[in-house]
Structure 1
């Protein structure tokens, strides 16, 4: 047994002393005098100590100043630089300051940093995307006499690929005395990102042995470019050489196929993985499910996504907030706001904590709908305390208000951000700058620039590109080109010609970055030049871009193809396609779609078929846009019998037709008066695309166009039963058409259905039905409708009424006496019918206390009249 220890009685706590203010610790005594310099290893130890703790970083600057006062600062500078560059916590700018101090020493004391120090500086510059700094550091390394190693050259290679300078990257790669797998992977990934997967395959062929990571990169690149056959061949080659494709390989294929719109093909691969139909197939992991879910949501296939979500629940793949966010984003983007709210409740029930991104998905999705009342509703949601708004939340609100031109509300959001202590970032200001600049609100732009200057923000390359794009859109293309020319020498200072408010935003940091033109800058210029038909100048800009070591990508070639096709120069567009192939850029599905669109505009169906055959031979998959162009070409030429089989061909190729596909066929069949065929296409469209309002409205409008009133009425009734808004339906024309066709009972039943379903509509819609019922001797029904009309009109005075819409080309009866939809025209028309007189008298006596209807409506704001007549 251990003896019990007696504890002393507790002492009284010492009196509270005021904590002294913390001061930076003084430098060690040996460093206090230049006469007694410490050994370099002491400087190295102290530098590492200060670099490890962010609170000691201010002392690093003092240490640097003290070292520079020593008789021989070179070894101490090198020790400080080595410690600072090795710590990720030390800002890059301080390391660069120490580096410049070391390189500025006079000749006898000059000691260049060793290669590992250069490597750390290069890696830090690459991490901050300061690609120009990477290049200048590499040149300094060569001038200093230091020997670059494989790691050094790999960093340079990665920077060149990130800048899109693939030709120079290839020359650097070829000149490397030694390479490793990372060297091959960097170059292959660069080619794939530039849309040159065939060149990436060539890099893979040069490897001493196949590498799984590089193979996965090239497979994903081929899939992104629509060259699925090439990807499949590479996967088979991997198997033959004993390199089993893993789940990353399949995830890359599925992701690329989904991004290319080939969701059904991606799902086939996913299903094979899930059911393990083939030996050696990996099982899907969390990434596989998430990618497939995003693919369904992006394609609008909500029902399929819902089934997948149920599978994920059962399999335990719906437990992370990231997966919920994907499904939530899909619901919001497809207009399923109610389901999104239910999903938030489910997350709370399952113990999954929503993050700020979760709420920002809802905010951003609602704001992008572009409806002002939704933006106000989102503001209420933000202020309800459910979420803590951050800079992303406020930026979404700003974008929504700017898209509606509501600058007052946007400024109010900026003020609220300041009150909440949520500082806008440069992206926020760029969103505002882009919106105002596109709208031509130069005064607000200048105020915004002044505000940015007051907050210490400076222009970056993105800001410059926004300004250049705005100049191109506002027919100031020549000024935009002059600014781009000056940017190569002056950076963002070139914007000074637009006013002092621009040049005031150029700080020392922006000058160091120089805001040089990039690929986006030149793409913007060439796109504007091609739109104006200035193709020779666009070609000169392309050559200039290449001379500046900025490699063009497939988007730039597509810009030329689109420009030529827009001006009817399809032969020149074909030449661009062939030149694109010669330069090593594989045309994508988009490239061919632009060409096919050009031929479709000229009704050249045979040429479209040839291009589609060429796509098939090259392993480039067609998509729904490809087929829609061909369908439209056939339909516009009256060859709907050739267009109809394309639906079956699309489904056989696992391409889902969209609303446009079915709409083209419905219009074509109605035009040749084959309404039964149009009805069949409509039924297939509903089963394929879902019960969408646009399909019902389209079918109803087309039937009304050709006076098929009974069929149009049936479609409208179905839409009413499904609670679809009839705001955009031509319901007034249908009722008038039924009355003209002596189908007053049908019009009467449709009107009663409107009332029963609680729809708001123009009271003038009652008039043709009342007249028709009166003419057929059904006075009682006419009187009931008259009373209902007055009741509805009484409730709608001063408010906008929903009116019918007649599309261009519809057979609207110009002589129709019921074509008006406001009470002024209705009550003051030249009509001697007894019913009209009775209604007019009742209205005047019933509303006598408010005066005459005409006089009352003249007092209303003009906006009300516009709303009533716009539907």
Structure 2
């Protein structure tokens, strides 16, 4: 009895050390325990294998398995599940299959968690057909699937572009009397939102309310983000109001998401109230929150307040990211300070930020609107990376300035590079050429556009 209690105490100590990532000390406890006559058991080695697979690598986990066998301790299904978890974490599907084969050869029957991890690994690698075969094997082997099994299936189907199949599986479970958990609803709502199925997501949200399960902040935030992403700002703000009414706690991300949507719709006063409420609720501002505030102040024309926030960011020990600098450049452009925006862009480049496409796009658009089209074209030529917005903005502004031939060359270059450009911009160029008396050039451009698209 004393030995069993000692082994149990040793296992508790090892588990605690593994949780705080002190694997060397955990190994030392095993050595000291053996020297004192406390014999490790299968739980001891399973704990260490799981920690090595999670924190170090699979080779280290296998080394522990080898030592376990040398000590005369037979591995069990939990041993191999720990190894499978490590292989899944590193997306090593061939190793996972080898582990399955090894289990069967040793006479160890895989349980539902063994299959769950293998299925999850296939989904992570983008192989939904193989994952479904694993799910089918669970049923054929008379193993009862657990709620996690269905959650893995639905999550994997959604992430691999099969949201409709996930919804069908959800309905099948309902017909068979399985009561979905809240996490299941959240997975499905998130998958439908990302697939652009906002109406279906809202139906599942209503059904969740009727089922007796109480939606949590994650549920509402998921639908709210989808509304904002798809341009349904009013609906997203209504969900935010509903969350407040029901007393849900918000994190900084939720507040920033709503503030950004309010700023985009021009409701600056409401956006201010939202940020003030965030501070009143004791949420510590991170760099995303500061970026939202800076953008808000620039929209309101409070340039001094925006620059004071930069000192505050530094005082809090935070570092400005590329979005901070992009917001500053955009704000300077909108304030008409093109020279200041150019200087800040140069400073941003000197800081080594990998991408400042949005900053360049904002600068080009504002320069064109200020009549500095030639300077905008020179900056355009210097850009390494361009997107469809860059071309569309420049083509549109060239048309407004009556420079249709230059716009037609730029338009054709964009289409040949495989980018999409707004049809309104294409029509503006062709119509502009015709109205300016260049009907033949307009016809040639139309032909070249068709050929480029083919």
Map residues 83-232 of structure 1 onto 2, 5 A cutoff. Answer: none
How many angstroms apart in 1 are the aligned matches of 2:24 and 2:52? 12
Alpha-carbon offset, residue 483 of structure 1: 3.2
- Contact 1:634–1:643 (CA<8 Å) still a contact in 2? no
The corresponding residue for 2:255 is 595
The yes-or-no answer on 1:630 pairing with 2:289 is: yes
| TM-score w.r.t. length of structure 1 | 0.31
- Contact 2:163–2:191 (CA<8 Å) still a contact in 1? yes
Q: Cα distance 1:444–1:707, how it changes in 2: closer, same or farther (>3 A)? A: closer
- Pick from 294, 306, 310 the counterpart of residue 643 of structure 1: 310
The yes-or-no answer on 1:475 pairing with 2:119 is: no
- Contact 2:313–2:320 (CA<8 Å) still a contact in 1? no
State the superposition RMSD in angstroms: 4.3
- Pick from 100, 105, 114 the counterpart of residue 419 of structure 1: 105
Alpha-carbon offset, residue 576 of structure 1: 1.3
Q: Cα distance 1:392–1:630, how it changes in 2: closer, same or farther (>3 A)? A: same
- Contact 1:469–1:524 (CA<8 Å) still a contact in 2? yes
The yes-or-no answer on 1:664 pairing with 2:321 is: yes
User: How far does the alpha carbon of each residue in 1:732-791 deviate from its partner, in whole angstroms, 9 at most, with x for none?
Assistant: xxxxxxxxxxxxxxxxxxxxxxxxxxxxxxxxxxxxxxxxxxxxxxxxxxxxxxxxxxxx
How many angstroms apart in 2 are the aligned matches of 1:347 and 1:320? 7
How many angstroms apart in 1 are the aligned matches of 2:308 and 2:36? 54
- Contact 2:216–2:248 (CA<8 Å) still a contact in 1? no
Alpha-carbon offset, residue 379 of structure 1: 1.0
The yes-or-no answer on 1:552 pairing with 2:215 is: yes
Aligned length: 315
Alpha-carbon offset, residue 665 of structure 1: 9.2
- Contact 1:363–1:378 (CA<8 Å) still a contact in 2? yes
How many angstroms apart in 1 are the aligned matches of 2:129 and 2:198? 34
User: How far does the alpha carbon of each residue in 1:139-196 deviate from its partner, in whole angstroms, 9 at most, with x for none?
Assistant: xxxxxxxxxxxxxxxxxxxxxxxxxxxxxxxxxxxxxxxxxxxxxxxxxxxxxxxxxx
Tell me, what secondary structure is at the counterpart of 1:662?
coil
Tell me, what secondary structure is at the counterpart of 1:422?
coil
How many angstroms apart in 1 are the aligned matches of 2:159 and 2:200? 17
The yes-or-no answer on 1:381 pairing with 2:42 is: no
How many angstroms apart in 2 are the aligned matches of 1:428 and 1:546? 33
Q: Cα distance 1:612–1:327, how it changes in 2: closer, same or farther (>3 A)? A: farther
How many angstroms apart in 2 are the aligned matches of 1:566 and 1:522? 20
How many angstroms apart in 2 are the aligned matches of 1:393 and 1:479? 33
Q: Cα distance 1:516–1:628, how it changes in 2: closer, same or farther (>3 A)? A: same
| TM-score w.r.t. length of structure 2 | 0.56
Q: Indicate the structure (1 or 2) with the bigger Cα radius of gyration.
A: 1
The corresponding residue for 2:145 is 459
Alpha-carbon offset, residue 430 of structure 1: 1.3
How many angstroms apart in 2 are the aligned matches of 1:562 and 1:449? 31
User: How far does the alpha carbon of each residue in 1:599-651 deviate from its partner, in whole angstroms, 9 at most, with x for none?
Assistant: 4589789866643431454xx4314xx422123446787956413424656xx
The corresponding residue for 2:87 is 401
How many angstroms apart in 1 are the aligned matches of 2:74 and 2:168? 45
Alpha-carbon offset, residue 594 of structure 1: 2.2
Tell me, what secondary structure is at the counterpart of 1:589?
coil
Q: Cα distance 1:644–1:444, how it changes in 2: closer, same or farther (>3 A)? A: same
The corresponding residue for 1:428 is 114
The yes-or-no answer on 1:621 pairing with 2:282 is: yes
How many angstroms apart in 2 are the aligned matches of 1:340 and 1:561? 45
How many angstroms apart in 2 are the aligned matches of 1:406 and 1:397? 11
- Pick from 233, 241, 247 the counterpart of residue 578 of structure 1: 241
- Pick from 173, 178, 194 the counterpart of residue 531 of structure 1: 194
How many angstroms apart in 1 are the aligned matches of 2:347 and 2:31? 44
